[in-house]
Structure 1
Amino acid sequence: MQVGIDKIGFYAPSQYLDLTELAQARGEDPNKYLIGIGQSEQVVIPVTQDVVTMAASAASQVITDDNREKIAMVIFGTESGIDHSKSAAMYLKRLLHLPDQIRAIEVKQACYGATFGVQTAKDYVKANPEKQVLVIGADIARYGLNTPGEVTQGGGAVAMTIAAAPQILALDDATSFRSEDIMDFWRPLYRTEALVDGRYSENIYVDFFQAVFHDYCKTTGRTIADFAALTYHLPFTKMGLKGLRSVLPEASDTQQTRLKANFEASRVYNRRVGNLYTGSLYLSLMSLLANAALATGDRIGLFSYGSGAEGEFYSGTLVQSTPALAAKQQFDAYFKKRTKLSVAEYESCFKRQLPNHDVLLDTKADDARFVLTGIKHDQRQYVDRSHTE
């Protein structure tokens, strides 16, 4: 029995910042961002959006009347949780009108959380093939204005249903994972912006990739020649390129050409959205499916990394060829409707944070279906506009 990704959806707000303009405002050569970091644009998150609203918008694309009653579990991977106690999955369960006979939990390990969700969901569906699991990767990446990490900000959500007889990617059983207590990136409870040792984190990322990839190959007997594409967690797209380059010498010249071309396809959308933390790997997968020339049965490798640090390499095979799967039209429409902010507008939006007291927010400028309308009695207030307008 095959189990894997049956449906996948994406959401990010429609405001964005041009990183060439940011570079000019910061007195930097734009190529430092465009080439050195591998980013050209980044999403700007308004105060009326958080991980719950973004997850709801992404999940509404994969939850329908046909599968709603089949969902037995929601696993919400995030490092941008809104409550120290109550899971973001519980709010999401209500907004999506999911059944009460369900588990709804939030998991955290930096950018790795959604991958734990995928693997846990796969095991559950194997034991309960009539059921499905909703897995979320949603985050808001914040490092602060005029910081080295500013160019790697962003945010958004990816939602996946894991099911038997999947329509998109059938997951292989083999997987390799690794954990070490490492301080390359962290965010204490008292901070709204993350702390990162950038160069150290890049080195750890590559080390973890090589370790889990080679362990996977040793365990399975597969080699790099067995993969049509390798996808990566992309906090910024140059990071994944470094990972790919570290193993390219193991491939033939023809294979290297294909892997490099498919990597470029897999980072098209990440370059323009920015860092999704837990959702970054899966946005990269969507970008690959929409922009690469792939065929049914092609094996795709996925490298997940969460600073602190945990890494995992696993794989799956395409159930259908790319034309039947690609969300290219959806992404083309999304990028076409976006609104570019000036650097000053972006800075103003970044500084606007949700107060820690009762407040009513002006949501007129937010075109999303799901919005955060404010706080009442220390409780976040969410609205599904499709039910109120």
Structure 2
Amino acid sequence: MTTIGIHDIELATTHNVLPLADLAAARGVDPAKFEIGLGQSLMSVPAVDEDPVTMGATAAARLIERTGTEGIRSLLFATESGVDQSKSAGMFIHGLLGLPQAMRVAEIKQACYAGTVALQSALGVIARDPEAKVLVVMSDIAKYELAGSGEPTQGAGAVAMLISADPALVEIEPATGVYSADVDDFWRPNDSTTAVVDGALSLKAYLDALSGSWDDYQANGGHPIGEIDRFLYHQPFTKMARKGHRELAKHTGAELTEDVLEASFEYNRNLGNTYGASIYSGLISLLHHDDDLAGKRVGFYSYGSGSAGEFFTGVVRDDYREHLYREPIQSELAERNVITFDEYVELHENVLPSQADAETPRVTKAPFRFAGIKGGARQYEAN
């Protein structure tokens, strides 16, 4: 039987970063509330010429430089931070990267669950045509009201994955469990630039979807919990993953230690919430920081508010270490521009209306930038 999964994966983030200790000081909050209570240290903040398209294009370009484009006939872009109500943000990436015209391009939305929908869709494409490859890009900016409860859980980042047969990194196994329920725990109205969240309800919905998707996973031939070696959870903040792990232990009656989670937290606690990319930036972090993954089975719990959850598993390939590229993201994280609280507030409130032409200052050092608005259309260019 043909194995299908993640052949290559890449992560990108923004030019700027805000230490949460500085946010805590400005808000008159004990820094431990963010560092320990949320499990977060830093928050990526986009520059004026960065957005989900530029981050996604950067991650995808790094990956394509290694793999080439041969066999890629689909580009699926997953986001809840879309830049247009009609045109897929993936189409901008298609143009920036000069991808072949013989390609399907589409955007997928269901809060933070969209990246997994794109992954599962890609697996289906390759099951039908094992010679095909699918480029999956997920990119988001988590943005909440200033001084609101969600403010310290903001962030930004993008993950690009190449899905193929006989993957080099992780084989995705066929059994999966899904769960959906119409819950108003989190949403962003069309006329708002910030999301609305009910924190208590969101936690309940997250845990309900975890239990429900796990039960469905078991009903559809999933592995017993004792056969799963590592666990990845959607991470709006890393403490949420700990809550999920404890809930799964309680629900199944298994003794699950939290040490198996630590390696997956390294990047997310320094990126902040990346919405749909968060579970897969957790995967990259796990691959980069756990040296004992060969042949190990990883459990994935993907969640998106509103709400939807999915539990599935993947097996890490024996020679995965030979196909890892730690340098780009580790250098990018270390070299981000540290901004002040006042600079953060200014960037947060900076929104370009589509009705007027505007050019953005050149700030980001990334390969691509958002150049501004012309004739109501967003303009992008190589940097």
In structure 2, C-alpha distance between the alignment counterparts of 1:233 and 1:186, rounded to whole Å: 17
Map of 2:108 onto structure 1 = 107
Instruction: Report the number of matched residues.
Output: 380
Map of 1:52 onto structure 2 = 53
Report the AA paired with residue 44 of structure 1: V
Contact map agreement 1:293 1:322 (CA 8 A) in 2: no
TM superposition shift of 1:359 = 0.6
Map of 2:199 onto structure 1 = 198
In structure 1, C-alpha distance between the alignment counterparts of 2:30 and 2:264, rounded to whole Å: 25
Map of 1:297 onto structure 2 = 295
Map of 2:358 onto structure 1 = 359
Alignment of 1:79-158 (within 5 A): 79-158=80-159
Alignment of 1:12-51 (within 5 A): 12-51=13-52
In structure 2, C-alpha distance between the alignment counterparts of 1:37 and 1:184, rounded to whole Å: 19
How has the CA–CA distance of structure 1 residues 144 and 227 changed in structure 2, closer, same or farther, with 3 Å as cutoff?
same
- List 4+ stretches of structure 1 deviating above 6 A: none
Once the two structures are superposed, what CA deviation does each residue of 1:226-246 show, in whole Å capped at 9, x if it has no partner? 111110111111111100011
TM superposition shift of 1:252 = 6.2
Query: What SS class does the counterpart of residue 135 from structure 2 fall into?
Result: strand
User: What is the aligned counterpart of 2:374 among 373, 376, 380?
Assistant: 376
TM superposition shift of 1:86 = 0.9
How has the CA–CA distance of structure 1 residues 66 and 209 changed in structure 2, closer, same or farther, with 3 Å as cutoff?
closer
What fraction of aligned residue pairs are identical, expressed as a percent?
A: 40
Report the AA paired with residue 272 of structure 1: N
User: What is the aligned counterpart of 2:342 among 338, 341, 344?
Assistant: 344
Query: What SS class does the counterpart of residue 121 from structure 2 fall into?
Result: helix
In structure 1, C-alpha distance between the alignment counterparts of 2:337 and 2:379, rounded to whole Å: 26
- TM-score w.r.t. the length of structure 2 is 0.95
How has the CA–CA distance of structure 1 residues 264 and 325 changed in structure 2, closer, same or farther, with 3 Å as cutoff?
farther
TM superposition shift of 1:142 = 0.6
Contact map agreement 1:294 1:322 (CA 8 A) in 2: no
What are the ranges of 5 or more consecutive residues in structure 2 without an aligned counterpart? none
Contact map agreement 1:112 1:278 (CA 8 A) in 2: yes
TM superposition shift of 1:262 = 2.4
Stretch of structure 1 that moved more, 201-210 or 323-332: 323-332
Contact map agreement 1:291 1:328 (CA 8 A) in 2: no
User: What is the aligned counterpart of 2:315 among 311, 314, 317?
Assistant: 317
TM superposition shift of 1:333 = 1.5
- TM-score w.r.t. the length of structure 1 is 0.94
Once the two structures are superposed, what CA deviation does each residue of 1:48-91 show, in whole Å capped at 9, x if it has no partner? 01111111000001114853131111111111111111111111
In structure 2, C-alpha distance between the alignment counterparts of 1:69 and 1:372, rounded to whole Å: 28
Once the two structures are superposed, what CA deviation does each residue of 1:152-199 show, in whole Å capped at 9, x if it has no partner? 101111011100111111110011111111100001101100001111
Report the AA paired with residue 361 of structure 1: T
Report the AA paired with residue 190 of structure 1: D
How has the CA–CA distance of structure 1 residues 322 and 245 changed in structure 2, closer, same or farther, with 3 Å as cutoff?
farther
In structure 2, C-alpha distance between the alignment counterparts of 1:123 and 1:3, rounded to whole Å: 9
In structure 2, C-alpha distance between the alignment counterparts of 1:90 and 1:196, rounded to whole Å: 30
TM superposition shift of 1:32 = 0.8
Query: What SS class does the counterpart of residue 351 from structure 2 fall into?
Result: coil
How has the CA–CA distance of structure 1 residues 221 and 148 changed in structure 2, closer, same or farther, with 3 Å as cutoff?
closer
TM superposition shift of 1:335 = 2.2
In structure 2, C-alpha distance between the alignment counterparts of 1:75 and 1:270, rounded to whole Å: 23
Query: What SS class does the counterpart of residue 381 from structure 1 fall into?
Result: strand
Contact map agreement 2:51 2:141 (CA 8 A) in 1: yes
Contact map agreement 1:290 1:325 (CA 8 A) in 2: no
Map of 1:283 onto structure 2 = 281
Contact map agreement 1:262 1:292 (CA 8 A) in 2: no
In structure 2, C-alpha distance between the alignment counterparts of 1:84 and 1:47, rounded to whole Å: 21
TM superposition shift of 1:31 = 1.0
Report the AA paired with residue 243 of structure 1: G
Query: What SS class does the counterpart of residue 308 from structure 1 fall into?
Result: coil
In structure 1, C-alpha distance between the alignment counterparts of 2:321 and 2:70, rounded to whole Å: 29
Stretch of structure 1 that moved more, 57-66 or 317-326: 317-326
TM superposition shift of 1:272 = 0.4
Contact map agreement 2:176 2:222 (CA 8 A) in 1: no
Contact map agreement 1:10 1:158 (CA 8 A) in 2: yes
What are the ranges of 5 or more consecutive residues in structure 1 without an aligned counterpart? none
Report the AA paired with residue 359 of structure 1: A
Once the two structures are superposed, what CA deviation does each residue of 1:323-378 show, in whole Å capped at 9, x if it has no partner? 33444433332222122111111111212222321011111x21111001111111
Once the two structures are superposed, what CA deviation does each residue of 1:277-334 show, in whole Å capped at 9, x if it has no partner? 1111100111111112323211111111110011111111011355334444333322
